């Protein structure tokens, strides 16, 4: 999933709550939306603005892209940790590289590494999948089949 260009203040909603996300002008490598460009300080005042033509960014599309990027980054991090272990690096060295303890590195990337990946899906991925499955009726069908077979009440009527 490709990331659309963002205003340089898009990731700082506390500082610039009025940022419109979509850059319309660039000063060197710094891209700004119209609101942030109007509020910019004297930094870069000597530079000529370069107009940008970028499609408007929907904040929900950005949210979905950020979740996708987070999931990809988690998988890359876990793959790198597994490769480091395969190449003989100790948990201490891996932990030092990540700024965590040896024990934390081993717990996070050791045998139960998939739990950490699943934790990264909450609340968006797992909850969204569960809601979609309930909406499609898959959960009710899966739960009601064993109930009907056992003769226990509680399943939806056939």
Bridge partners for 25 per DSSP: 32, 51
Whether 3 has a pLDDT exceeding 90, the answer reads no
Hey, is 150 helix, strand or coil? helix
**Both 41 and 70 in a single domain?**
no
pLDDT 10s digits, 11-37: 899 988 999 999 999 988 889 999 998
| Mean pLDDT to the nearest integer, 123-150 | 54
**Both 48 and 96 in a single domain?**
no
pTM of the model: 0.55
pLDDT of residue 49: 83
Bridge partners for 26 per DSSP: 31, 50
Residue of 24, 18, 22 lying closest to 3 (CA atoms): 22
Q: Where are the alpha helices (DSSP H) in 49-90?
A: 59-86
Per the listing, tokens 């109930």 go with 147
**Both 50 and 20 in a single domain?**
yes
pLDDT of residue 38: 87
Structural domain range at position 5: 1-57
**How far is Cα 121 from Cα 106, in angstroms, rounded to an integer?**
21
- Domain tally for the chain? 2
**How far is Cα 9 from Cα 67, in angstroms, rounded to an integer?**
19
pLDDT 10s digits, 66-114: 899 999 999 999 999 999 999 999 999 999 999 999 999 999 998 765 5
**Both 38 and 89 in a single domain?**
no
């Amino acid at each position: 999933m490709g990331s659309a260009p963002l205003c340089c203040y898009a990731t700082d909603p506390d500082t610039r709550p009025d940022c419109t996300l979509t850059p319309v002008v660039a000063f060197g490598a710094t891209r700004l939306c119209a609101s942030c460009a109007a509020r910019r300080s004297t930094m870069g005042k000597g530079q000529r603005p370069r107009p940008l033509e970028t499609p408007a960014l929907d904040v929900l599309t950005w949210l979905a892209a950020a979740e996708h990027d987070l999931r990809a980054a988690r998988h890359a991090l876990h793959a790198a940790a597994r490769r480091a272990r395969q190449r003989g690096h100790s948990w201490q060295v891996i932990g030092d590289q990540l700024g965590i303890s040896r024990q934390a590195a081993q717990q996070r990337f050791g045998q139960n590494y998939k739990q950490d990946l699943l934790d990264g899906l909450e609340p968006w991925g797992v909850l969204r999948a569960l809601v979609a499955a309930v909406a499609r009726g898959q959960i009710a069908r899966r739960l009601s089949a064993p109930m009907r077979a056992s003769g226990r009440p509680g399943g939806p009527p056939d």
